[in-house]
Amino acid sequence: MDYKNKIIYQIWPRSFQDSNHDGIGDLKGILRRLDHLQDLGVDLIWLSPVYCSPNTDYGYDISDYYNIHPDFGTMADFDALLTECKKRGMGIVMDLVANHTSDQHPWFQACLNDPNSPYRDCYYFREDINDKEPNNWISMFGGSAWTKDPLKPRSWYLTTFTPHQCDLNWENPRVREEIANVMRFWLDKGVSGFRMDVINTIAKQPGLPSWHPEKKGYQFAKEFMTNLPQSHAYIQELIGKLSNDYDFITIGEGMMADNDACALYAGEQRGELNMMIMFDLHLQDCGPLGKYDFRKLYHWTIPGFKSIIFRWQTDSQKRNYWVANYMNNHDQPRSISRFGNDRQYRVESAKAFALMNLTLRGTPLVYQGEEIGMTNCHLEQDEWRDYEAINIYGTLQTMMHLPKFIAKKVVQRMTRDHARTPVQWDDSDYAGFSDHQPWIKVNPNYKQINLKSDLVSETSINRWYKQAIALRKTYSAFNTGAMKPVLVHHKQILAYQRSDEQAEFLILINLSGSPAHFDLKTEGRILMDSYTDPQPRLLRPYEARLIQIR
């Protein structure tokens, strides 16, 4: 399957569209909105997990890989959705969480019922050392990465995300075969592929040693749990098992996977994945303490931003690997609020990031709501829903000694809940998402910011997306064409050329809130500009321009 020319739209189902009046988004709700996605030009819908799950991490803790969560509907609803997608020329990409299962998964339940269960070797159960966890690894969501085994006094199991997500032991062939079975099951149904969750952490350092044991407290054992050589062997084996029988696309998500790692996971001819999701843009305002590092929140620079883009673009081109670009997803605050200006220049910054995302080398991922310029949402503590946010709030106080009010502010800036408020379809109650109090707060700005009013606006963001998507589909230069950075040292403007035999384009984006002058010959035809009266050698705040040079 050609993976380079696809437009992929991510749905986080719980907040997309409710159909049965319970305030929770569901599959039938998605079905009702397929025309909107088709109209936008979407090829593939990546569904964040819709499997059975106790929802400690909203679906990323799967208890049954072969069934649909009742909140989302039934398997018949899924089949109907897939059929309707296909009628519209679209496909579905499933989210495959293979690093861990929920502790409610039958395999893990078997482990908890029997200390000699053969399934214990599907996970990492280990004895402790001097009454302390088996090693000093920190969980991605704060605190120890180990959870106490209720069956045996000195035994623990590895949980690198929430304590309810139990890391699978990929050394065990049974685990590897079962993941292949899960993929076969969904491929037989006709899905188009998988987005593979934290796929670069499936292999762990043999022996699970402590990371810098001389250091006090829990440590981020990056070298021992990400990008181990064995992870490539596992992926090659998995893909090798399926690729002769099925035609499908694979999008790897790799926590902190750098260029070298991605060159391997997504290198052409390596028999691994089609593309890796690029993380670095979203790490630039994180400090050594991670995403919630209070010293760095939202502090980033345009030169830094540009250098990340250019490094990934030129390196992936040089070494022949493929990335998935995105400005928003369910794990990050809304990009307009974080990297743009969500007040005075909301529309302009939405368009700037959209044009960038849709013209870069790589496959663009578009996240629900960004096509209407949705923003962060202020949430009081009792409105937080995300495990990560709630847990980090505690960790910031206990481990980092932050006073409560600062810890609260930090969480309110970074929480993943920003991305998870309901999609704003219209200005009716609950933004047209539901007619029932939703499971999470609706952003109060829905009266102004919603699809219905955007569609009739002269400066429609949705229309801008449509236009950029249509151009991307018309000109192969945007997919497989060469990428050449321009104005590399400019302090405000991100600029580059995309070209192939058929056509050549120049993209100019002012990433700042002030006017930006530039000195560059820009002869050609302006195909898109976010201001109605483009000026030569000048871009107004967040102005984005696409010029066809040839």
Positions 18 through 77 that interact with Ca ion (CB under 5 A) = 18, 20, 22, 24, 26
Nearest residue to ligand NOJ on Cβ basis: 60
- Binding of ligand NOJ by 60 (CB under 6 A): yes
**Residue 353 exposed, middle or buried by CB count within 10 Å (0-12, 13-18, 19+):** buried
Convert residues 107-146 into a mask of x (bound to ligand NOJ by CB under 6 A) and - (unbound): ----------------------------------------
Cβ neighbours of 186 (radius 10 Å)? 23
The smaller minimum CB distance to ligand NOJ, of residues 197 and 342, is found at 197
Nearest residue to Ca ion on Cβ basis: 26
d(CA 210, CA 220): 10
- Binding of ligand NOJ by 97 (CB under 6 A): yes
Return the percent helix, strand and coil in the chain, to nearest 5: 35, 20, 45
Give the DSSP letter string of 458-502: TT-HHHHHHHHHHHHHH-GGGTTSEEEEESTT-SSEEEEEEE-SS
Q: Which residues are designated catalytic?
A: 197, 253
Measured from the CB of residue 47, what is the shortest distance to ligand NOJ in angstroms?
Answer: 13
Strand pairing category for 275-277 and 323-326: parallel
Positions 348 through 377 that interact with ligand NOJ (CB under 6 A) = none
Strand pairing category for 100-102 and 516-517: unpaired
Positions 505 through 534 that interact with ligand NOJ (CB under 6 A) = none
- Binding of ligand NOJ by 379 (CB under 6 A): no
Cβ neighbours of 436 (radius 10 Å)? 14
Binding-site partner at residue 60 among ligand NOJ, Ca ion, none, CB < 5 to 8 Å by type: ligand NOJ
The smaller minimum CB distance to Ca ion, of residues 28 and 413, is found at 28
- Binding of ligand NOJ by 331 (CB under 6 A): yes
- Binding of Ca ion by 11 (CB under 5 A): no
Convert residues 233-262 into a mask of x (bound to ligand NOJ by CB under 6 A) and - (unbound): --------------------x---------
The smaller minimum CB distance to ligand NOJ, of residues 330 and 361, is found at 330
- Host H or E run for residue 105: none
Binding-site partner at residue 22 among Ca ion, ligand NOJ, none, CB < 5 to 8 Å by type: Ca ion
Positions 179 through 198 that interact with ligand NOJ (CB under 6 A) = 197-198
The smaller minimum CB distance to Ca ion, of residues 18 and 149, is found at 18
**Residue 298 exposed, middle or buried by CB count within 10 Å (0-12, 13-18, 19+):** exposed
Cβ neighbours of 534 (radius 10 Å)? 17
**DSSP letter (8 states) at residue 123:** B
Tell me which amino acid residue 146 is: W
Site residues, ligand NOJ (CB under 6 A): 57, 60, 97, 161, 197-198, 253, 330-331
